[in-house]
C-alpha cells in the first residue's frame, strides 16, 4: 500500500473483530504507523448478530500516507 499510494493520499482498512479478545484493529494501526502512515480516525461499530461466525464488531481505520 505504501508503494502504491501517492503522498497525502488516504486509505481505509476495514477489520472485523472476533468475539475473542485479539485487538486486530490496534495491531494493524500500529503496523501502519511504523510504516510511515498517519491515522486520521478510527470508526468502530457493532454488527448485527448473525447465526454463523464470530465477528461482532468492525473497525474502519482511515490512514494517510
Give phi and psi for 45, each to the nearest 5. Answer: -150, 145
pLDDT score for 58: 87
Handedness of CA 44, 41, 37, 31 (dihedral sign): negative
pLDDT bucket at 57, cuts 50 / 70 / 90: confident
pTM over 0.85? The answer is: no
Q: C-alpha distances in angstroms, 54 versus 3, 20, 23, 33, 59?
A: 33, 8, 14, 28, 15
Looking at residue 46, its pLDDT comes to 85
Residue-level pLDDT at 3:
83
Q: Give me the residue spans of the domains in the chain.
A: 10-64
pLDDT (tens digit per residue) in 11-56: 999 988 776 677 888 899 999 999 999 999 999 988 877 666 677 7
Amino acid at each position: 500500500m505504501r508503494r502504491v499510494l501517492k503522498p497525502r493520499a488516504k486509505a481505509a482498512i476495514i477489520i472485523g473483530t472476533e468475539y475473542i479478545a485479539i485487538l486486530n484493529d490496534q495491531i494493524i494501526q500500529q503496523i501502519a504507523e511504523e510504516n510511515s502512515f498517519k491515522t486520521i480516525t478510527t470508526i468502530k461499530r457493532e454488527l448485527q448478530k448473525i447465526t454463523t461466525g464470530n465477528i461482532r464488531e468492525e473497525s474502519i481505520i482511515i490512514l494517510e500516507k
